[in-house]
């Protein structure tokens, strides 16, 4: 890994809520950890906060607005969204699927690294808000999920 790539990784970590990143490839291992003071530290909810339909940006598709009880699962980083581990592989999840905590939902490719994004709780997938191969921003809504207890 080149110094410029490491520098980009540090900048990426610094600009997101990700607190630690570890990469190992071909005998090279790097760990980047972001420390917080007590004032900056916070506990994140299992899913992002539910948003009223009026606060959701309009979509170009005929998809219904966020209804009561649905939450938006947002991208934890900037990158390219992929529903499957490979172009010829089936998607990790489909609309209507019940997901479990720790289950892989999709991949975000960032800096030629494939990052598996996992569920933070149980729920039912109601809608994908981005297309396969589409670039996503940090915090951009990707899925609508109906949480399950």
How many angstroms separate the CA atoms of 107 and 110, rounded?
A: 10
Closest CA to 110 of 9, 4, 32: 9
Least confident stretch, 61-65, 73-77, 78-82: 61-65
Q: Compute the distance between CA of residue 107 and CA of residue 75 in angstroms, rounded to an integer.
A: 10
Four-way CATH pick for 66-147: 3.40.50.300, 1.20.1420.20, 3.30.70.2500, 2.40.50.100 = 2.40.50.100
Structure tokens at 23: 């990469």
The string of pLDDT tens digits covering residues 125-146 is 999 999 999 999 999 999 999 9
Q: Is the pTM of this model over 0.75?
A: no
Domain assignments of the chain as residue spans, ordered by start? 3-33, 66-147
Q: Which of 16-25, 38-47, 132-141 has the lowest mean pLDDT?
A: 38-47
- Beta-ladder partners of 99: 123
147, containing H or E segment:
strand 141-147
Q: Ranked by mean pLDDT, which of 33-42, 67-76, 136-145 comes out on top?
A: 136-145
């Amino acid at each position: 890994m080149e110094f410029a790539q490491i520098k980009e990784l540090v900048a990426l970590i610094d600009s997101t809520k990700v607190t630690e990143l570890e990469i190992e490839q071909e005998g090279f291992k790097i760990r980047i950890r972001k420390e917080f003071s007590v004032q900056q530290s916070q506990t994140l909810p299992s899913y992002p906060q539910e948003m009223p339909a009026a606060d959701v940006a309009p979509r170009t598709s005929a998809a219904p607005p966020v209804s009561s009880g649905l939450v938006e699962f947002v991208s934890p980083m900037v990158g390219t969204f992929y529903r499957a581990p490979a172009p010829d592989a089936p998607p990790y999840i489909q609309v209507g699927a019940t997901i479990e905590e720790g289950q892989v939902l999709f991949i975000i490719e960032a800096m030629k690294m494939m990052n598996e994004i996992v569920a933070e709780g149980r729920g039912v997938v109601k809608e994908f808000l981005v297309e396969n191969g589409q670039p996503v921003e940090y915090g951009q809504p990707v899925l609508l999920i109906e949480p399950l207890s």
